[in-house]
C-alpha cells in the first residue's frame, strides 16, 4: 500500500503547530534575508505524525531484529544506559558551567577514562573523538607528533594490512602520510616476510603500523607480538584499531600486546547507540610514551584540592596535545551510557561479553560451514567471513544472498569486505542474540543457499517485500538524486 507523500497531501493553510503569540513588537527583517517562495508542505499534526511513523517503520534497526553487521558490533543498547543519560543532572548540564558544579559529570568522565585504560592496557585515555575514524586521526597525528618531538620528522610511512578497514588508509592519507600495504598470508594473518621487507626498506621513514586485532576476517592475529616487536625495532609505533575489542574484553589487552595507541568505539563495544541513533564516541588510549600528545581536554584528579574521601576533578589539556578534535569535551551523553554499561557488567561481565560474542560467532559459522565456503577455516573470534557463492549456482553472488536475507526479515551483513575475500559476507552476531535467533538466521542462510540452486531468480529479484526493491547501486552512485521533486 503506497501512502501519499507529505507534498502531495499539502493543502494551503493546514498546520501542525501553533506558534505562541508574539510578545515583542513585530519588525521587518532585512530585505533579502527571507525567501517568499519556500514551498514547504502544509499538513495537519496527524498527517505529520503518520508520515514520520510510517517512515520509521520502513527502516531496520537493532531494536527490530538481528543486525549482523560484521566489524560494527550492532549489539543491544541496554535501556538502563538511556535512563542514566536522561537523569536531569546529566541531561541539562551546560558546557560552560563552572567546574565546581559539574563534579559528578567529571567523575563519570574520569572513571570512564580509568575503565578504558584498564580494559585496553594503556596509561591514559582521551574521550574527545566523536567516532572511531576520528580516534584514528587523533592517534595517527599523535604518532607523527611523537616522532617530530623526538627530532625525527622525516618519518612519513604507515604500514597497513590489506585486510584493513578503509578508514585506516584514509586516516593515513589525511594525516599527510604514505600508505604501504602489507599482504595477508594463507591463514589470514599479516604476512611476516612481507612485513619484514617493508620495515627494512622504510626503516628510517617508518611512522608505524595500523593493525586491527582481531582483524576484519574475524581472526586473532597469531603473530601479533612478533609484529609489534618488529615495527618497534625499526623505530615505528603500533596503532591499534580497536573496533573489534568486543572479542578481547577482559581476555587480552592491546597495551600488553605492544600497541602504543588505540581507539575504542563506544558505539560498538560499549553498547551506546550506533549509526542513525548516534552520536558516536571514539576515545583514544595511549601508552605512557604517547600520553602527552593526547587531544584535550581530559579529566584529571586535582590532587591539591582533593580530600581523601572527596576527590576533586578538573579538565586539563595534556602538555603537547595534537590539538582539539571536538567542541567542548566530546559526546558527554555517550560517556554516561558507556560508563553505565561497564558498571552494570563489572570486570567479570566484561569477560563474559567477549566469551559469548566469540561463542555466538563460532556457533553460527559452524551452522553454515560446508554450504557457504569459509576461506580461512580457523576458530573465529567475534565474527567470521564466508563467501556468498556456490559451485553449483555460479551466477549467484553475495549481493543476491544479502538482498534475499531482507525477505527473511534480517539485515544483510556487509558484502565485499574485507576486499581479500571473493564475494565476502562478513557476519557478526554479537553476544546479545539468543540461540533461537542465531538458529533462525542460520536457517535463513541455508534456505537461501538451497534457493540459489533451485530457483535463483528468487535471489536475483530480491528483496520482494521491502519498501524499496533492488536498487541499481551503480546508477544511484553516478546520478545522485538527493531531493524529492514534485513531478
Ligand atoms: C567501524 C570501524 C572503524 C571506524 O569507526 P567509526 O566509529 O565507524 O568511525 C574503523 N575500523 C574498523 C575495523 C571498524 O569496524
pLDDT by residue (tens digit) across 417-460? 898 999 999 999 999 999 999 999 999 999 999 999 999 999 99
Cα–Cα distance measured from residue 440 to residue 462, given in angstroms and rounded to the nearest whole number: 19
SS3 161: strand
Residue 304's pLDDT is 87
Render pLDDT for 186-237 as a digit per residue (tens, 0 to 9): 999 999 999 999 999 999 999 999 999 999 999 999 999 999 999 999 999 9
The whole-number pLDDT of residue 425 equals 98
Half-sphere exposure of 44 (CA within 13 A, CB side): 2
What pLDDT, on a 0 to 100 scale, did the predictor assign at position 43?
95
Q: Which of 23-37, 264-278, 353-367 has the highest mean pLDDT?
A: 353-367
With a 6 Å cutoff on the Cβ, whether 213 touches ligand 1 is no
| φ/ψ (deg, to 5) at 133 | -60, -35
The pLDDT score that the predictor gives to residue 4 is 79
217, 265, 280: residue to mutate for ligand 1 pocket, most atoms within 8 A of CB: 265
Assigned CATH class of 352-475? alpha beta
Give me the pLDDT at residue 437, please.
98
| Mean pLDDT in residue range 315-331 | 95
Report pLDDT for 309.
84
Asked if the model's pLDDT at residue 36 lies above 90, the reply is: no
Q: Give the Å distance between the CA of 40 and the centre of ligand 1.
A: 37
- Confirm or reject: Cβ of 265 under 6 Å from ligand 1: yes
Residue pair 172/158 in contact (Cβ under 8 Å)? The answer is yes
From the CA of 135, give the closest atom in ligand 1: 9
Reported confidence tier of residue 486, pLDDT bands at 50, 70, 90: low
Which atom number of ligand 1 is nearest to the Cα of residue 282? 7
pLDDT 10s digits, 249-282: 999 999 999 999 999 999 999 999 987 656 899 9
pLDDT at 402 over 80: yes
Pocket test for ligand 1, best of 243, 326, 381 (most atoms within 8 A of CB): 243
5 Cα: distance to centroid of ligand 1 (angstroms): 35
**Nearest of 161, 169, 112 to residue 137 by alpha carbon:** 169
Mean pLDDT, to the nearest integer, of 450-473? Answer: 94
Domain boundaries, the chain: 79-343, 352-475
Q: Which residues contact 382 (CB under 8 A, 6 or more apart)?
A: 73, 214, 218, 244, 246, 247, 354, 357, 358, 361, 428, 430
The residue whose CB lies within 8 Å of the most ligand 1 atoms, and thus the one to mutate among 70, 72, 127, 165, is 165
Average of per-residue pLDDT across 90-105 = 95
Q: Is the bond into 265 cis (omega within 30 degrees of 0)?
A: no
Q: Record the pTM.
A: 0.92
CATH number of 79-343: 3.40.640.10
Amino acid at each position: 500500500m503506497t501512502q501519499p507523500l507529505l507534498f502531495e497531501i499539502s493543502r494551503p493553510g493546514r498546520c501542525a503547530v501553533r506558534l505562541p503569540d508574539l510578545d515583542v513588537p513585530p519588525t521587518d527583517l532585512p530585505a533579502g534575508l527571507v525567501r517568499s517562495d519556500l514551498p514547504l508542505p502544509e499538513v495537519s499534526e496527524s498527517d505529520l505524525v503518520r508520515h514520520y511513523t510510517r517512515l520509521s517503520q520502513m527502516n531496520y534497526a537493532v531494536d527490530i531484529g538481528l543486525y549482523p553487521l560484521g566489524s560494527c558490533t550492532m549489539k543491544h543498547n541496554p535501556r538502563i544506559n538511556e535512563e542514566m543519560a536522561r537523569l536531569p543532572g546529566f541531561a541539562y548540564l551546560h558546557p560552560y558551567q563552572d567546574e565546581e558544579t559539574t563534579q559528578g559529570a567529571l567523575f563519570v568522565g574520569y572513571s570512564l577514562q580509568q575503565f578504558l585504560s584498564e580494559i585496553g592496557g594503556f596509561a591514559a585515555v582521551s574521550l574527545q573523538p566523536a567516532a572511531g575514524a576520528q580516534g584514528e586521526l587523533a592517534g595517527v597525528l599523535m604518532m607523527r607528533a611523537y616522532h617530530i618531538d623526538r627530532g625525527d620528522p622525516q618519518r612519513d610511512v604507515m604500514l597497513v594490512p590489506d585486510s584493513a578497514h578503509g578508514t585506516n588508509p584514509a586516516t593515513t592519507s589525511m594525516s599527510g602520510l604514505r600508505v604501504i600495504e602489507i599482504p595477508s598470508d594463507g591463514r589470514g594473518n599479516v604476512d611476516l616476510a612481507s612485513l619484514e621487507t617493508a620495515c627494512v626498506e622504510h626503516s628510517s621513514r617508518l611512522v608505524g603500523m595500523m593493525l586491527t586485532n582481531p582483524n576484519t576476517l574475524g581472526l586473532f592475529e597469531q603473530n601479533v607480538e612478533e609484529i609489534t616487536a618488529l615495527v618497534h625495532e625499526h623505530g615505528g609505533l603500533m596503532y591499534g584499531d580497536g573496533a573489534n575489542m568486543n572479542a578481547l574484553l577482559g581476555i587480552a589487552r592491546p597495551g600488553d600486546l605492544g600497541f602504543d595507541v588505540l581507539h575504542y568505539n563506544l558505539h560498538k563495544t560499549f553498547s551506546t547507540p550506533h549509526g542513525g541513533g548516534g552520536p558516536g564516541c571514539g576515545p583514544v588510549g595511549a601508552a605512557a610514551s604517547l600520553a602527552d600528545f593526547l587531544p584535550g581536554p581530559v579529566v584529571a584528579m586535582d590532587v591539591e584540592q582533593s580530600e581523601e574521601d572527596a576527590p576533586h576533578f578538573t579538565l586539563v589539556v595534556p602538555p603537547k596535545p595534537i590539538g582539539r578534535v571536538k567542541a567542548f569535551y566530546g559526546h558527554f551523553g555517550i560517556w554516561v551510557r558507556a560508563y553505565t554499561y561497564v558498571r552494570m557488567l563489572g570486570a567479570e561481565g566484561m569477560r563474559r561479553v567477549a566469551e559469548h560474542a566469540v561463542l555466538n560467532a563460532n556457533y553460527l559459522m559452524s551452522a553454515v560451514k560446508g554450504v557457504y565456503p569459509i576461506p580461512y577455516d580457523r576458530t573465529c573470534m567475534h565474527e567470521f567471513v564466508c563467501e556468498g557463492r556456490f559451485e553449483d549456482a555460479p551466477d549467484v553472488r553475495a549481493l543476491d544472498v544479502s538482498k534475499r536475507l531482507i525477505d527473511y526479515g534480517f539485515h544483510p551483513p556487509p558484502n565485499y569486505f574485507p576486499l581479500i575475500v571473493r564475494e565476502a559476507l562478513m557476519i557478526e552476531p554479537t553476544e546479545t542474540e539468543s540461540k533461537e535467533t542465531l538458529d533462525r538466521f542460520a536457517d535463513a542462510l541455508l534456505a537461501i543457499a538451497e534457493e540459489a540452486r533451485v530457483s535463483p531468480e528468487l535471489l536475483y529479484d530480491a528483496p520482494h517485500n521491502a519498501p524499496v526493491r533492488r536498487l541499481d547501486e551503480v546508477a544511484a552512485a553516478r546520478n545522485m538524486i538527493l531531493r524529492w521533486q514534485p513531478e
